[in-house]
Structure 1
Amino acid sequence: MTDTAADPTVLDVVSALDRRYPRAWAESWDRVGLVLGDFEHPVRRVLCVVDCVPETVEQALAVRADLIVAHHPLLLKPVSSIAPDTYKGRIIHRLIRNDVALYSAHTNADVANPGVSDALAARLGLRDLRPLVPATGAAEGAGRGLGRIGELAEPMDLAAFTRFAATRLPTTAAGVRAAGDPSRVLRTVAVCGGAGDAFLAAATRAGVDAYLCADLRHHPASEHLAEDGPALLDVAHWATERPWLDDVAAWLRDESGAEAIVSDLDTDPWTVHAREDPEKKEPLP
């Protein structure tokens, strides 16, 4: 560990993150950047998380992190109080009392190149990546935008790819489910880290064979398939964004010299998944 005088400060690390994920790239409704923290406080250790929740805050304190870099903003929606008897207030007070800064890179990290969907695509072995929805105003060849489209190393059918995705993505109770003909052969796949049903039409226009994202809803998925859209794979939200943490942590180590730790705490809210075995189902009386 370096001496305190040589350690980067919160301001140093935040400035570097802002250069990699400019706040101007975020959606107008988003809230990104530094949430709290002393600019002059030294940063020896960073914890990278998808969600800043009580469990990941306690993990940050346990590993003695000076900064949490989170994907999802803690204060996305306005609050009128951060009193310690409120959910977000408790988190904020806990962080301030322990000199732990908090930074968020959300939709600005989604559109970055490399960004959240690049890390997801890499987990699935996709090649020759391009944006699913190119960023408006991005320079030619910048590769910025939402989602990614890539080629599979070898064609496989939907059933096989669903099993493959389950082995390559972080394990959650939700697992991976697919919609479409299980025997459909896939060659090109679109992915989107996080909620992705807003881009179903974009996946259809792109002519991909399958589209993988999180938080697909019944009616949009059903109507999409009825219109002969690409096969669909639905994955837990946390699992689609967790791969990005490895990338940002590796970059932070190189860029700042601080130790960067990735949180593997599954913060997906769904914790139980049961499926009845029809062979063991008892007949009703």
Structure 2
Amino acid sequence: MPTTLADVQDVVEALWPRSGAESWDAVGLVAGDPAAPITRIRLAVDAVLDTVDEAVSSGAQLLLTHHPLLLRGVTSVAEDRYKGAVVARLIRGGCALIAAHTNADVVERGTSAVLAARLGLRDARPLVPGSEPSVGLGRVGRLEHPMALGRFARAVADVLPPTAQGIRVAGEYERELRTVALCAGAGDAFLQHPAVLAADVYVTSDLRHHPASEAAEAARLGRGPALIDVSHWASEWLWLDVAAEQLRAALPDIEIAVSELRTDPWEFAIV
């Protein structure tokens, strides 16, 4: 019997249960016939025109993304609008769409856990614990050896794919780091979390001016971590390889590939 989209949905649910998603999130099947056969799957962070075209041209019958396409309500899927054009190209190309978002953040090998592992953090644990010790949002761990903030920022840059934004740092270059808190994706909601305040540095994305400024000033008084702000897309792209590995183990007859396309929205920077 051929593997169907419904079969893949079952695997996705086992790997990244919907119960782990935040209440505001929109995860799971976005488009596609559950009875349709699946032989190829493409993974990407975002369902944008380029990743959809790539998936369709590669012959994939499923695009699995981290970010939901329809996170907020829409009143039209007309093709002169971005989301409508994406949906239309998916349907015409016979390609389904599934999103695994916050439900893929909290699992043991989720987005933040993968970033923590790539940075070599020891004894990493969830920043915001979930129902089990290894499950939850973000991660906190320690470096194998103390390291200057500047050197650590370079290590972060070496791990992540390059983007126009690069790596932005608030803190003294020579500040010694031992403990690291991080949250792949947007994490300024945790700037005042006790585990973040107790860390030497906090790595996350999408830090806004005022919260970042307040946190940086508090750090100068010895009351908080240095900050490293990275590309949202880059911080979560690392997870795709792990997700693909897990899918291959569960679906050995399916061809699974990770998109190399950069879907960070910024094309270039002028400094």
| TM band (smaller chain) | over 0.9
Alignment equivalent of 2:265, drawn from 258, 265, 269: 269
Q: Tell me: CA distance 1:205–1:59, structure 2 relative to 1, closer, same or farther (3 Å).
A: closer
Is the Cα contact below 8 Å between 2:244 and 2:258 reproduced in 1? yes
Is the Cα contact below 8 Å between 2:190 and 2:196 reproduced in 1? no
Match of 2:188 in 1: 197
Write the deviation string for residues 209-267 of structure 1: whole angstroms up to 9, x where unpaired.
10101001111111112222101000011010000101100111110121211112111
Match of 1:66 in 2: 61
Mapping of 1:75-86 within 5 angstroms?
Answer: 75-86=70-81
Match of 1:279 in 2: none
Q: Structure 1-normalised TM-score? A: 0.90
Write the distance in 1 (CA, Å) between the matches of 2:83 and 2:113.
31
Mapping of 1:105-124 within 5 angstroms?
Answer: 105-124=100-119
Match of 2:147 in 1: 156
Write the distance in 2 (CA, Å) between the matches of 1:205 and 1:92.
39
Alignment equivalent of 1:223, drawn from 214, 217, 220: 214
Write the distance in 1 (CA, Å) between the matches of 2:60 and 2:93.
10
Report the identity percentage: 52
Partner of 1:234, secondary structure, is: strand
Write the distance in 1 (CA, Å) between the matches of 2:205 and 2:260.
18
Alignment equivalent of 2:203, drawn from 212, 215, 237: 212
Write the deviation string for residues 57-80 of structure 1: whole angstroms up to 9, x where unpaired.
011012111111100000011111
Match of 2:121 in 1: 126
Write the distance in 2 (CA, Å) between the matches of 1:177 and 1:163.
11
Larger Rg: 1
Is the Cα contact below 8 Å between 1:204 and 1:230 reproduced in 2? no
**Aligned pair count?**
266
Shift of 1:85: 2.5
Write the deviation string for residues 124-172 of structure 1: whole angstroms up to 9, x where unpaired.
111211001112xx03x3x111100112122110011111111111111
**Structure 1 residue 174 and structure 2 residue 170: aligned?**
no
Match of 1:39 in 2: 34
Is the Cα contact below 8 Å between 1:123 and 1:168 reproduced in 2? yes
Deviates more, 1:122-131 or 1:241-250: 122-131
Q: Structure 2-normalised TM-score? A: 0.95
Is the Cα contact below 8 Å between 2:42 and 2:63 reproduced in 1? yes
Deviates more, 1:49-58 or 1:181-190: 181-190
Write the distance in 1 (CA, Å) between the matches of 2:249 and 2:182.
27
Q: Given residue 107 of structure 1, which amino acid in structure 2 is its aligned partner? A: T
Match of 1:103 in 2: 98
Q: Given residue 24 of structure 2, which amino acid in structure 1 is its aligned partner? A: W
Is the Cα contact below 8 Å between 2:181 and 2:196 reproduced in 1? no
**Structure 1 residue 87 and structure 2 residue 82: aligned?**
yes
Shift of 1:205: 5.2
Write the distance in 2 (CA, Å) between the matches of 1:121 and 1:107.
17
Is the Cα contact below 8 Å between 2:104 and 2:110 reproduced in 1? yes
Partner of 1:99, secondary structure, is: coil
Write the distance in 2 (CA, Å) between the matches of 1:43 and 1:187.
46
Write the distance in 2 (CA, Å) between the matches of 1:251 and 1:8.
16
Match of 1:12 in 2: 7
